[in-house]
Every structure is written in structure tokens, then in C-alpha cells.
Amino acid sequence: MARPSASSFGWLRGFGTRISLFLLILVSVGLLVQYKVSDNNQQFSGVRQVTDDVTSPISNAITTPMWGTKRAWGFISSHWNAAKRVRQLEAENQTLRQWEALSHALHNKIVRYEQLLQIQGQPDLRVLSARVIAETRGPFVRSVLLRVGRRDGVRQGQAVVGPNGLIGRIVTVGNHSSRVLLVTDLNSRIPVQLEGSNTRAILAGDNQGNPKLIYMGKSFVPVAGTRISTSGDDGVLPAGIAVGELLTLQSSDVVRVRTYADLSAIDFVQVLAQPSLVPPEAEITEPVPAQSANTTGDVQ
């Protein structure tokens, strides 16, 4: 451990150093107060983007051998119970084949109905795979850093999914990196809908393991196991992305959701890039000219 010099902190008695320490604490408090009163996620976003861009290659270099080791360990450990896994997968495969046939039939039926009703479907999503290079699971923030950025087509607000469901959304985008706010983060708010009913709610994170539902409406009766997906009401996230299911109500009135995506160990994710829709009012560039020069309001 540290063998201190005889003058440990003795220099600090210097007036200048004390003043600088005091001033720096004041600056820190000032920054915190500014965060509190301003739009939290947008505070110093430019500086954050630059920091993420600069540090992401180094983080990538650090995590590369870690992922290599993890993959090697996974490869070795998978051989221990290979026979058992094969039997499990064969059984699972049989079930999935039945579901596949059903899903094809339903898909064809939906396409036919949409053609008959002339429904405008959802725009096609572009999927971008990315690796997690840094992770923040502190007591205050739940976010991960991806090694893809603006140059790869990532934009703020896009949905990020794992193998089983929604993980979060993009909050900051740099040229080569982007930050994902997890659904469990305190600042995360995702509009969702409950399967089987048309109930809308907001999925809100509070830095706990399972996010909670808020603004469900007074008539809402929670049923454990109800599936939840994104509603797309914010116009940013695509509708229908699987999120999770309702948990059994505990003693409190808080309704919590078990996410399908495993948020405890995220390694690879997919960013869903949805073409942005231009609202009609934004398309109007010039006022429509009047039909006639008669502005007096005379109507025949």
C-alpha cells in the first residue's frame, strides 16, 4: 500500500490550494444544480459525444480480449454438456417448427387483409448490429456504450434490442460511438401497450432491476404475465417491439415489468433504424396563395 511521504497533505495547508479545492467543489455543485434545473439528457451533449468518441477506441481495445476470452470459455464449456444440449435443442426445434408453420399462415392472412383494406403498413426497419464496449451500472445511471455512431446511420432516439426484446434507446450519438439509455435507468420513459387490451402506459425506469409502469389509467387491472410491447406513440420507437411481462403484484401498488431482454449481461445488440416521418406541417414551406384578389369576404 501507499507509503506516505513525510509531507502528506502538508502542502495543502497552502492558502492557494485550499482556495482552489473550495472553488472546484463549488464548480461541481454548480454543475449539479445546472443538471437539476436543465433538460437532463441534453446537458453538455456535445462534450459527452466527443468524450465517447475519443475514449471508445481505447475501451474497444480493452474489451476485445475480454470478449475473446468469454467466447473461448463459452466454446469450451458448451462441450461439457453437449449431448444434453442437443436433446434440448431438438425438442425446442420441434416446437418451433409448429410455431413457424402457424406464423407463416398468419403472416399470409395479415398480408391479404392489409391488401384488401389498403392499410399503410409500418415502414421497413434497418437493423444494425453492434458490440457493447463500455457499461455503466452505477447507483445513478444505467447505460451502455456502442461501437457504432452517426457514420453508421445511428440517430438519437432509435430503439436498441437484444435477442429477446427491447433494451433501451439511443440518447447520445458521436461519429463512432453511441450511448444507450437502458429501460431501467431513472431517466428512461418508453410508451408501451398491454397485449390483449388497448391499454397504454409508460414504462419508467427507477434504477431498480425491473422497470415500473406508470400512467395506466384508473380502470387498469394488472394481471401477472400480461405481455407488454412498445406502442410507438412517441413517433420515434417502432410499435410492437417485445418489452416484457407484468410481474405478480407485491405489497406495494407499484406494477413492475420483467424485461425479456437480459439486462444483467449485455454483449451484442441491434439498433433499429426507422425512417423518420416528416410531419405535414413541416412539409409546408410557403403559404398557399389566395384563390382570388377579393379579400373583403364577399361571397356570391
Partner 1 sequence: MSARITPLSSVGARAGLLAWIGGPTLVSFVGLLIYVAPVHLLGVHIPMPLFPLMAIFFWAMARPQLMPPIIVFAIGLLQDLMTGGPLGLWAFSYLSAYMVMTLKSEMFAAHGDASLWVGFALMVGCTMVAAGLAGWLVFGSQVDWLYLIVQSFITVLVYPLAGRFYRRVQRSTQQARRLYDVHHGHRI
Residue nearer to partner 1 on the CB measure, 12 or 224: 12
**Binds partner 1 by CB under 8 A, chosen from 130, 134, 159, 194:** 134
The interface mask with partner 1, positions 141-180, x = CB under 8 A, is x-xxx-------------------------xx------x-
Residue nearer to partner 1 on the CB measure, 38 or 103: 38
**Binds partner 1 by CB under 8 A, chosen from 15, 36, 292, 296:** 36
**Binds partner 1 by CB under 8 A, chosen from 148, 159, 181, 273:** 181
Q: Is 93 in the site for partner 1 (CB under 8 A)?
A: no
The interface mask with partner 1, positions 264-283, x = CB under 8 A, is xxxx----------------
Residue nearer to partner 1 on the CB measure, 176 or 179: 179
Closest to 269 in 3D by CA, of 174, 146, 157: 146
Q: Is 188 in the site for partner 1 (CB under 8 A)?
A: no
CB of 38 to partner 1, least distance (A): 10
**Choices 11-19, 216-224, 277-285, 287-295 (CB under 8 A): range interacting with partner 1:** 11-19
Q: How does DSSP assign the chain, residue by residue? A: -----TTTTGGGGSHHHHHHHHHHHHHHHHHHHHHHHS-GGGTTHHHHHHHHHHHHHHHHHHHHHHHHHHHHHHHHHHTTTHHHHHHHHHHHHHHHHHHHHHHHHHHHHHHHHHHHHT---PPPPEEEEEEEEEEEESSS-EEEEES--GGGT--TT-EEE-SSSEEEEEEEE-SS-EEEEETTSTT-EEEEEETTS--EEEEE--SSSS-EEE---TT----TT-EEEE--TTSSSPTT-EEEEEPPP-SSS-EEEEESS-TTS--EEEEEEPPPPPPHHHH--SPPPPSSS--S----
CB of 57 to partner 1, least distance (A): 11
Distance CA(180)–CA(173), nearest Å, equals 9
Q: Is 110 in the site for partner 1 (CB under 8 A)?
A: no
Distance CA(207)–CA(192), nearest Å, equals 19
**Choices 47-55, 190-198, 237-245, 285-293 (CB under 8 A): range interacting with partner 1:** 47-55
Q: Is 101 in the site for partner 1 (CB under 8 A)?
A: no
Residues in touch with partner 1 (CB under 8 A): 1-5, 7-12, 17, 20-21, 24-25, 27-32, 34-36, 40, 43-44, 47-48, 51-52, 55, 58-59, 62-63, 66, 70, 132-141, 143-145, 171-172, 179, 181, 186, 206-208, 262, 264-267
